Amino acid sequence: MKIISNILWIIFGGLILSLLWALVGVILCVTVFGIPFGMQCFKFANLMLFPFGREVVYGDGTVSFLFNVLWLIFFGFNLALWSLLIGCFWCVTIVGIPIGIQVIKFSKLALMPFGTKII
């Protein structure tokens, strides 16, 4: 079921989203200050490609907290809000509920991506 879900995800926009996240990661890696943020975008791109069957494990740490605060101010709040709205939109139909749940998972990750691991 995970394979079928991932294939449908890629067909219905997952590939485009993954490529866009990778592009933003490359753009952010142009500056030294943007490299940690670009690496988080690559983490998003990887998760956007095959989200079904993967889990996000949240960690902690002082440096992660500081970067998460900067991420939240500049990128995270808008990304999380839009992901939450799109996830709720997908959950309107029964067929879209699995996709909506994955998008809501992205919303949670968009708030605090530093210190997380994708399993």
**Sequence spans of domains, the chain:** 2-118
The tokens for 103 are 């998008």
Cα separation of 103 and 93, whole Å?
14
Q: What is the structure's pLDDT at 35?
A: 94
CB 106 within 8 A of CB 48: yes
Q: What is the structure's pLDDT at 42?
A: 94
Number of H helices, E strands in the chain: 6, 2
Q: What is the structure's pLDDT at 28?
A: 92
Which stretches of the chain drop beneath a pLDDT of 50? Answer: none
Mean pLDDT of the chain: 89
Q: What is the structure's pLDDT at 60?
A: 74
Q: What is the structure's pLDDT at 25?
A: 92
Q: pTM for this one?
A: 0.80
Q: What is the structure's pLDDT at 103?
A: 87
The Cα angle at residue 3 between residues 108 and 43, in degrees rounded to 5: 35
